[in-house]
């Protein structure tokens, strides 16, 4: 399609979409005919919504660090005073699965969204105008179109609908036929249990008069109804034929048919049967694999869609480099996946592949660091903590060696000074003895010289050590 045809198609789409796009697939009908009517739909929807609502959303900066006190982070933790984050995101998920659309009304105060309130897809619809959605319309109780909401007031999450891109299509719509088939089979079985559903057969009696008809009818009814006479052989006199009209349970094969319906429904929703209690062919290993498949193929794509819708709706409230993300690091199934990645990374490392290449190949999410682009030939890479410890030890050894040299130098200088004082004092003491003077008085006269000399040496040693440090 060339550009002109594309513009014409877009213009035609806009011109034909001037009224609210009310979905024909109502949530109320989806709940009554699918969610509560089929146990498999109920289990699948709850398994998915419980998984999605267990994952926290928050704002991170350009370096990937969480911003705990960011207003949007706080909003996603406590969306409004009435319901919790888990309840709101569970509603979003259920609405997406059942109708393909989830809406939230934003309460804006001071230029920031302070509350998020869920809106049922049955009560709101987009109105196209211009290039895309112009605003949203609310539905009154009588079914007519009511108030309008600016598109900036509404967050719309939807599953892609190729036939109408402004409104979503639900998973249950794709599963409608197998769900209806399964529900009808349950109803048939219930009817058969209560009333035997259909006639098992017809007795044909030759030359029977009307008066005899009542007699035979009561006799057959007496013989074949009630638990007392169930499955007992019956005998009718005269020329009588029995024509079989009903099928046995084995012929109908309801159990196998229901299993097929179950597997088809769960496959459409993306829920492995092992996760909702189906024990056929279940083992510990395939249960672990099923959990991982469930998260990778079903839950994470839904989380990504919700994340992108939140980011688009709240983008004006984020600074440059900030983004809304979700954290699945504490999910056991994803931890198992991470452990497998680590084992694969270790194998590649042993082959000599640089860490940067491994990080990119396996999407480990680590930041680059010194020497991460080099191959160490399978040898352990020096760890940052170990390298820092080694540097500290080397510095400590170097510092200790330098300190020993300084101490030795000051020791020699101190010894030289003390020897000079001692020699001078010794000469004076000897002279005092020769002159018959008191030598103790000579010692007392030189006491202050010793004190001053020792203080000076201590100060010089302290200054030298401080300068070294």
The residue with tokens 């719509």 is 173
Q: Report percent pLDDT > 90 for the chain.
A: 26
pLDDT of residue 115: 95
DSSP state of 83: S
What is the C-alpha separation between 7 and 13, in angstroms, rounded? 10
**How many CB atoms neighbour CB 14 within 10 A?**
15
- Among 298-312, 396-410, 436-450, the range with the most confident prediction by mean pLDDT is 298-312
Query: What residue spans define the domains of the chain?
Result: 3-174, 205-244, 384-468
Residue-averaged pLDDT of the chain: 77
| 48 vs 364, higher pLDDT | 48
Long-range CB contacts (< 8 A, 24+ apart) of 28-36? 28/122, 30/98, 30/99, 30/170, 30/172, 31/98, 33/179, 33/180, 33/183, 34/98, 34/172, 34/175, 34/176, 34/179, 35/98, 35/172
**How is the chain split among helix, strand and coil, in percent rounded to 5?**
55, 15, 30
| pLDDT of res. 11 | 43
- Integer angstrom CA distances of residue 29 from 35, 91, 98, 303: 9, 16, 9, 26
Count of CB atoms situated within 10 Å of the CB of 34: 24
pLDDT at 130: 72
Side by side, which strands form the sheet with 112-119? 112-119, 101-109, 154-158
Question: Distance between CA atoms of 151 and 426, rounded to whole angstroms?
Answer: 103
Note the pLDDT of residue 288: 81
pLDDT band of 129, cuts 50, 70, 90: confident
pLDDT at 225 over 80: no
**Per-residue pLDDT at 15 exceeds 50:** no
Which has the minimum average pLDDT: 60-69, 93-102, 182-191? Answer: 182-191
At 322-373, the pLDDT tens digits run 999 999 888 877 766 677 777 787 888 788 888 888 877 776 767 777 777 7
| pLDDT at residue 403, as a whole number | 63
* Residue 18 predicted with pLDDT over 50: yes
The confidence band for 166, taking pLDDT boundaries of 50, 70 and 90, is confident
pLDDT of residue 75: 95
The band of 304, judged by pLDDT with boundaries at 50, 70 and 90, is very high
- Asked if 88 and 118 count as a contact pair (C-beta separation under 8 A), the reply is yes
Reduce the secondary structure of 253-305 to three states and give it as a string. CHHHHHHHHHHHHHHHHCCCHHHHCCCCCCCHHHHHHHHHHHHHHHHHHHHHH
- What's the Rg (C-alpha) of the chain? 43
Query: Looking at the predicted structure, is the pLDDT value of residue 379 above 90?
Result: no
Tell me what pLDDT residue 342 has.
78
pLDDT at 48 over 90: yes
Using CA atoms, how far apart are residues 381 and 379, in angstroms rounded to an integer?
A: 6
Kindly report which listed range (150-154, 384-388, 397-401, 454-458) carries the lowest average pLDDT score. 384-388
Q: Is the pLDDT of residue 285 over 80?
A: no
**pLDDT at residue 322 in the model:** 93
Lowest mean pLDDT among 84-98, 162-176, 325-339, 406-420: 406-420
Q: Strands 112-119, 57-60: parallel, antiparallel or unpaired by DSSP?
A: unpaired
């Amino acid at each position: 399609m060339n550009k002109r045809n594309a513009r014409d198609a877009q213009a035609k789409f806009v011109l034909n979409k001037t009224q609210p796009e009310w979905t024909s697939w109502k949530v109320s009908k989806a709940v009554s005919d699918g969610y509560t009517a089929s146990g498999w739909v109920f289990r699948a929807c709850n398994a998915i919504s419980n998984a999605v609502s267990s994952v926290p959303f928050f704002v991170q900066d350009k370096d990937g660090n969480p911003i705990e006190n960011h207003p949007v982070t706080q909003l996603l933790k406590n969306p409004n005073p009435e319901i919790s984050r888990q309840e709101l995101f569970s509603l979003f998920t259920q609405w997406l699965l059942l109708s393909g659309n989830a809406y939230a009304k934003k309460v804006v105060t001071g230029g920031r969204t302070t509350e998020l309130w869920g809106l049922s897809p049955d009560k709101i619809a987009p109105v196209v105008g211009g290039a895309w959605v112009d605003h949203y319309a609310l539905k009154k109780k009588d079914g007519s179109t009511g108030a309008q909401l600016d598109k900036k007031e509404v967050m719309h999450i939807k599953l892609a609908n190729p036939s109408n891109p402004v409104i979503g299509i639900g998973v249950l719509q794709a599963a409608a036929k197998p769900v209806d088939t399964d529900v009808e089979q349950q109803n048939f079985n219930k009817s058969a249990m209560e009333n035997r559903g259909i006639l098992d057969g017809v007795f044909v009696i030759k030359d029977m008069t009307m008066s005899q008809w009542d007699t035979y009818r009561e006799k057959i009814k007496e013989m074949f109804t009630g638990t007392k006479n169930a499955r007992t052989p019956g005998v009718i006199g005269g020329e009588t034929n029995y024509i079989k009209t009903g099928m046995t349970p084995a012929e109908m094969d309801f159990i196998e048919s229901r299993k097929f319906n179950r597997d088809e429904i769960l496959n459409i929703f993306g829920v492995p049967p092992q996760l909702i209690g189906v024990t056929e062919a279940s083992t510990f290993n395939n249960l672990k694999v099923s959990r991982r498949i469930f998260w990778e193929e079903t839950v994470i794509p839904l989380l990504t869609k919700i994340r992108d819708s939140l980011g688009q709706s709240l983008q004006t409230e984020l600074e440059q480099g900030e983004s809304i993300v979700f954290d699945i690091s504490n999910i056991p199934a994803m931890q198992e996946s991470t452990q497998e990645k680590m084992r694969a990374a270790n194998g590649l490392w042993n082959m000599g592949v640089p860490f940067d290449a491994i990080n990119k190949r396996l999407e480990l999410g680590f930041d680059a660091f010194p020497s991460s682009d080099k191959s160490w030939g399978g040898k352990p890479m020096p760890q940052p903590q170990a390298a820092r410890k080694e540097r500290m030890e080397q510095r400590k050894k170097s510092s200790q060696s330098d300190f020993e040299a300084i101490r030795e130098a000051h020791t020699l200088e101190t010894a030289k000074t003390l020897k000079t004082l001692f020699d001078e004092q010794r000469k004076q003491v000897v002279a005092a003895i020769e002159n018959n003077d008191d030598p103790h008085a000579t010692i007392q006269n030189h006491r202050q010289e010793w004190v001053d000399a020792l203080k000076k040496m201590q100060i010089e040693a302290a200054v030298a050590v401080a300068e070294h440090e």
